[in-house]
Each structure stands twice: as C-alpha cells, then as structure tokens.
Amino acid sequence: MKSSTITTLYAVLVSLVRASPLGAVGLSEGTTAVTQPAVTFIGSLVNDVEYYRGIPYAQPPTGNLRLRPPKPVENVGIIDATGIGPACPQFTTAGSSPVLNRVVGVPGVAEGLFFASAQGNETEDCLTLSVMRPGNTQPDEKLPVLFWIHGGAFQTGSAQPFNASVLVPRGVSQDKPFILVATNYRLGGFGFLGGKEILEDGAANLGLLDQRMALEWVADNIASFGGDPNAVTIWGESAGARSVFDQLALYDGDNTHKGRPLFRAAIMNSGSLAPAEPVDGPRAQNIFDTVVDAAGCGAVPSSEKLDCLRGLDVETFANATTQVPSYLSYNNLALSYAPRPDGRTLTASPETLAQEKKFAAVPMIIGTQENEGTVFGVWPYNVTTRAEAISYLSDVYFPDASLEQISHLVDLYTPCTVESTVTTSVNETYPEFKRLSAIFGDYEFTLIGRVLLDLTNENELSWSYLATYGRDTPIVGTYHTEDLPRMFAKTDDSSRAIQDRFISFLYHLDPNGALADRTSPRWPSWQESRELFEFGASSVGVLDGDFRDNIFQYIRDNLNEFRH
C-alpha cells in the first residue's frame, strides 16, 4: 500500500532500500532456533549473527482493534522469523521543494535518509519486532539488551533497516556481547490520531503503547534468547528519541512490568523533550476532523465516528489519514501526528513532566548532530525575509506564541549566531534558510535537549554529545540522520568511536566503560561540568556545553507558549 503522491526523496529512499545489502539480511545462510515451552522461533544465521525478525508482540490492530490500545499476543507453535518483517503503513505524501533535489543529490546524504524509509511490505498487521544476537548465544548468558525505536517523524520508518551486522559483532570484538531488539509501532493516523473523540475512547498515543507492549514482550521473553531482562537500555533517534523520553515519562514515570523496571538506562539521539498541545487541543482536533471528513465519516454522530473509521477498509482509512500535511512538506516539524498529553498515559506535556520529575530516573545519554535543522530547512523555501519568517513560525509552528515572542526568538539568531550554528560549505539556498534551519535545530533537538539535561541530577547521571563529523558536507553539514549509518553500517574510526562508547554505556551505565578499560579522552557527565563530548571526523574531544546560552534561556523560559 502506497500513498498516491510519492516525493522525490521517498522514491530515492525506496530505490536505496531495494539496492542496499541490508535487504539481503533475511536470506538465510543457515537457520537457528529458540525454544520456549509453547513456541519455537526459527531464525537465520548470517555472518555469525542470528536474526529473528517479524516476531508478533501484539495482536493485529485491524478491524475492531484499529484505533485501540494494543492487546498482547500469545506466541505458540512454530514461528518462522527468517524473513523480512512487515512495515506499518507509511505517510509519504508530501509537497515539493526546489531545494530538495539539491539536498538529496549531495554525496552521502541519501545514505542517512535511507533509514527513515520502510523496508518490508506495508500492512496494518505490523506489530512485530526483531531480535538479533551473537551466533551461538546460550539461554543462560544474560546478555544486556539494546532496545531500538526507529525515527521518521511518527509517520514513516520501520524496524527492518536497522540490522545488527555491524553493532553486534563490534560488541563481541570488545568482549561486550549484547542483544539488539528493534520494534515496529503504529504510525501516522493509525498510531497518533488526536481529537476529543480519541481522548474519550482511550485511544490516544497508541504508538507509544505499542512500544510499551514491545518492551513488555522483551521483559517476558528475552531470557530465552540469552538476554537479561534486568539490563535493558532503550535507544532511539529523532521520533524514536522522543519516544524514549515518552517511555521514561509514561504513567508519570512508572516503567515497571510485573514489579520490575522495563529498562535501566536510555539513549536519545537527536530528540528528547517535545512540548505538545493536548490530544484534544485545536491542532489535533482539526487533524481528526479532516481525517473523518476525508474518510466519509463526517456525517455520523460524534459517538460513532471511531466505529466508522474502524469499519473502513485499510486503503480508504490510510488515504484519509494522508489528507493533512506530512513532515515532508511546508509544515515539516509542526507534525500532524505525534504524541500528545492525554491525562492518562502521557499525563502532561513532556517538559512539564520533566520539570515535575515525573519520569523514570535512569542514566541517560542525550546528543545531537551539529546541523540538525538543515534537512528540514529545505521546505519553507519561499520564506525570504525576517517578516516572512516570523509569519511562517506564527502560522505554522507556534500558534500559541505572541508575535512579540516569535519576533524576539527570530532576532536572537543574528548573522553571526546563524553562521556559527549552521556550518556549511555553501551559501544560503534561499535568504532565510540558515536562520530557519538554526531555529528548527535548536528548538526541536539541540537546545531542548539541554533543558532535559539540566533537569537531571547526580542520582540520574547524564552525558551529552555533539557530532561534527559532517562539516564538509555541502548545504546540510552534519545533518539530521547522519548518525544512523555510523551506528548501523560503517566501520571507520569516527563511527567506531560512537559505537564503542554506546556499547560501554550499555554494559556499565557509563560511556567511559569500566575503570579497568576506560577510553581516552574521558567523557564527563553533564552534572560534573556541563560539557559535551564531540565526535569529529578525525578526532574526539570535549566541548563547552553552554553555547548559545541566551537562546537556550529564552526557549527554556517560554516552552509553554512554544508548544505545537
């Protein structure tokens, strides 16, 4: 199932998926099995890594279970987990931008954006996960578990592109073997539809509930794969990183299942807090009403609208959910579908939960790319003046903020600040490109992450990093998603520097590793010195973490007004 309009970007990504060696992971070079009393999982063995892919962790969310919280599934019999798992329905409809083709054509950029695409057939029956472990792992080994949540703006992506061919062998080579788990979750209108009808039905934030159920499946089953359910680290990028914080904050920080914590640590790449209007607020309600009307359910009574949506065939419902702006458009990060406070599972906006300490206190790593906003700056290409930038941010991004507040934010990004924030090797692609890219990057990723870092303390140590290895990349610099191939596909020194420190964190809850094998230079905790670890193209080091402090303070002090 595909949306009617496919962007140039998505077409490029699809071609990359088909051509990539990642697509061959499901081709069995041998088989392996994990047996429980009621079920046997058949997996594939490829280059000393065992893959168990497409394992159901919840009942199919179809028919009457559409737009409802997930229900657990009982795995029984023999489950063939040797193929490529499914992908949840994607939202790829988008606008166009003359800047987009230039960005996709930059050498190396499509490599990172590839991971935002889906691999596997799109189907509503998509609540599956993959377990990947070193070959010949025994059930009693109690290996730590890295639980991956993919990004894609809560609209695209899947677990399938994230294989273990680089990371798991690296852990083995460092005498730190571990298990990697990657999960699907419902996207777009299937998983993050808002509106008062959704709130009243208890159907909000379904994608987050899917992730929570996948974590519960890990808690109940990973021991039979040789994993330790008491040593799980949750990890995500972009929307996946936002999901990681939301998992910390769900149920006001209750991360327990059957009396035990579901995870003991967290890693957030390019995302953390995301201030949000409530699930029944004006923005979410407008999206709901648009979807209902497009689906032909607008004339039914309010109490019957969800039943009407559940009764539709999947193509009709999917098409209706794409009649709103996608993140591949002028609206970009003013997302139509995203987690929102519902008063039940996500009881308040994430920054409020953080301020009130209503999140699981675990060690965490929070980091960003130097130029997070550039790939999003390609969309508002017709914004060419300061006045137009203010109008754009007011109309699209920050509807609750006053023009005075938005004007002040825009003016904080002086030419000097913008140049230091968006370091690229070419000039502006349009007159406001660098300023808007800097605002997107700081508000959505870099400086909002500092807000969370400042709310942690010595009892929940945190570390932060800044990646600068892409400074020579034209137009986009060290762009959003560039870290993904470095984590999952590359073996050069700069990639190994990140992989090794994340694996050390998984093992020791400290990216520096155990006292006996500390790497150099040392990565200080945020509480210790408010410093960042820099991952450069040819070296690593430590940076002052207080850059753009005036902008940080302004964003921090106006988070309530800057929700969207």
- Which residue is it, tokens 């953080």? 354
Whether residue 373 lies inside any domain: the answer is no
β-bridge mates for residue 50, sequence order: 45, 133
Active-site annotation holds for 238: yes
Whether residue 133 lies inside any domain: the answer is yes
CA distance 513 to 446: 25
The two three-digit tokens of residue 341, written as one number: 């406070």
Task: List the one residue out of 446, 388, 439 whose CA is nearest residue 418.
Answer: 439
Q: What angle do CA 499, 229, 518 make, to 5 degrees?
A: 35
Domain CATH number, residue 37 = 3.40.50.1820
The two three-digit tokens of residue 503, written as one number: 């694996």
Whether residue 453 lies inside any domain: the answer is no
Whether residue 531 lies inside any domain: the answer is no
Residues 6+ apart with CB under 8 A from 180: 131, 132, 133, 145, 146, 148, 162, 164, 167, 168
Whether residue 548 lies inside any domain: the answer is no
The two three-digit tokens of residue 379, written as one number: 């969309």
Domain count, the chain: 1
Look at residue 84 in the predicted model and tell me its pLDDT. Answer: 87
Segment holding 19, helix H or strand E:
helix 8-19
Active-site residue identified among 130, 158, 238, 243: 238
Look at residue 121 in the predicted model and tell me its pLDDT. Answer: 87
Where in the sequence is the domain holding 74, given as residue range(s)? 8-117+127-151+158-368+491-526
Cβ-based neighbour number of residue 200 at 10 Å: 13
Whether residue 429 lies inside any domain: the answer is no
Render each residue's pLDDT in the chain as its tens digit; 564 residues.
Answer: 443 333 444 444 444 333 333 333 333 458 999 999 999 999 999 999 999 999 999 999 999 999 999 999 999 999 999 988 899 999 976 666 777 777 877 877 877 777 777 666 899 999 999 999 999 999 999 999 999 999 999 999 999 889 899 999 999 999 999 999 999 999 999 999 999 999 999 999 999 999 999 999 999 999 999 999 999 999 999 999 999 999 999 999 999 999 999 999 999 999 999 999 999 999 999 999 999 999 999 999 999 999 999 999 999 999 999 999 999 889 989 999 999 999 999 999 999 999 999 999 999 999 999 999 999 998 999 999 999 999 999 999 999 999 999 999 999 999 878 877 766 554 568 899 999 999 999 999 999 999 999 998 767 799 999 999 998 888 899 999 999 999 999 999 999 999 999 999 999 999 998 655 556 789 999 999 999 999 999 999 999 999 999 999 999 999 999 999
End-to-end CA distance of the chain: 30
Say if residues 336 and 325 touch (Cβ distance below 8 Å): yes
Cβ-based neighbour number of residue 382 at 10 Å: 12
Whether residue 404 lies inside any domain: the answer is no
Q: Strand pairing of 179-183 and 128-134?
A: antiparallel
β-bridge mates for residue 256, sequence order: 261
Segment holding 364, helix H or strand E:
strand 364-369
Q: Which amino acid is at 104?
A: V
Whether residue 361 lies inside any domain: the answer is yes
Burial of 538 (0-12, 13-18, 19+ CB in 10 A): exposed
CA distance 540 to 555: 29
Q: Strand pairing of 179-183 and 31-35?
A: unpaired
Q: Dihedral angle at the C-alpha atoms of 159, 233, 498, 86, nearest 10 degrees?
A: 0
